[in-house]
Amino acid sequence: MGTRASNVASSSSRASPRVPLTCSREVEAALRSGAPVVALESTIVAHGMPFPENLKTALEVEALVRTLGATPATIAVIDGVARVGLNDSELKRIAELGERCAKASRRDLAHACGTGSTAATTVSGTMALARMAGVDVFVTGGIGGVHRGGESTMDVSADLIELGRTNVAVICAGVKSILDVPRTLEVLETHGATVCAYGVDEFPAFFTRTSGSRAPLRVDTPLEAARVIDASLRLGLSNGSVFAVPIPSEHEALGQVVEQATSQALREIETRKIIGREVTPYVLKRVAELTDGASLKANIALVKNNARIGAAIAVELAKLRK
């Protein structure tokens, strides 16, 4: 597996006195033997879906990864310790906390660990911890991006910067269309992140297979993706990569409904003069109301699809690196 900090604690139950990071026994054993491991984030659990669907989905995604021959490693900060591989009760705690759980991107990791807090990790926080533990492949739903109007607000997700400086492969369904897709791709390019669409030419927009923006690169199979990741690790590049998998066609109809609701919510924002940090919560709430649960269903379907492909990529990568 890739670079691995030598002083990272490896016991399942004790943190090293020096590094507040532990891997579960299962993850530790898999990493030690070079078996495939798939990192999973916890912000999608705490903040991305309502309880109890969030817990059910998280457990099903872990089971799916196992079925496909890889070890799942859900990542979060629990009582001040960065945990790579949560047990079911830790996962339940994050899921039940929901919106009350802290959300940790890279900037928040030291504070969460230093103050003994519990926090769900975003894509950037999860990538940073996955790299420290030696996990190369990470599956999620969507990554953060440049917000619409980001050219003046400078609201650009830390995920994009992390992808420029941490070598982890992120398998996702692109970015939500409430974000600015062209500018998101520009920022990823600026920071040197490798961006491949999976099996298509266009960068997908989460609920829809198309975004109107062509992806810079394309791969078509798990083996091809694994070869790209392997080459990146062999070259010792510091940047990460995005493998953007479109939502499966059979769920895209649902996605289209969500997309129409999103457009309506965005129009409402203009007429109601909603601005700044009120924007995203308003849009998400309106989309949930307008689609009567279709957005959650489509979200779960695409996360599972990403997990299937991500696990297959991790399996191929482990074979290449044996």
The residues carrying an active-site annotation are: 41, 176
Number of residues that bind ligand PSU (CB under 6 A): 17
Number of chain positions touching Mn ion (CB under 5 A): 1
Structure tokens at 299: 């979200």
Whole-number Å distance between alpha carbons of 284 and 251: 19
Q: Which span (2-10, 155-163, 289-297, 304-312) binds ligand PSU, by CB under 6 A? A: 155-163
Whose Cβ is closer to ligand PSU: residue 93's or residue 176's? Answer: 176
Whose Cβ is closer to ligand PSU: residue 205's or residue 219's? Answer: 205
- Please report, as residue ranges, which positions from 214 to 243 form the binding site for ligand PSU (by CB under 6 A): none
> Is residue 48 near ligand PSU by the rule CB under 6 A?
yes
Of 141, 171, 318, 140, nearest to 241 (Cα)? 171
Binding span for Mn ion by CB under 5 A among 80-88, 116-124, 148-156, 192-200 = 148-156
Task: Please list, residue by residue across 165-174, b when 16 or more beta carbons sit within 10 angstroms of its beta carbon and e when fewer do.
Answer: bbbbbbbbbb
Query: Shortest approach of Mn ion to residue 175 CB, angstroms?
Result: 12
**Bridge pairing between strands 102-104 and 21-23:** unpaired
**Torsion over CA of 279, 40, 51 and 303, rounded to 10 degrees?**
70
Cis omega (within 30 of 0) on the bond before 52?
yes
Of the candidates 41, 155, 159, 162, which one interacts with Mn ion according to CB under 5 A?
155
**Sign of CA pseudo-dihedral 282, 285, 291, 297:** positive
Is residue 259 near ligand PSU by the rule CB under 6 A? no
Choose among ligand PSU, Mn ion, none what residue 209 binds, the Cβ cut-off being 5 to 8 Å by kind. none
Instruction: Please tell me whether residue 180 binds ligand PSU under the rule CB under 6 A.
Output: no
Phi–psi pair at 96, nearest 5 degrees: -70, -35
* Interface ranges with Mn ion (CB under 5 A): 155
Contact positions toward ligand PSU, by CB under 6 A?
41, 43-44, 47-48, 105, 122-123, 141-144, 157-159, 176, 206
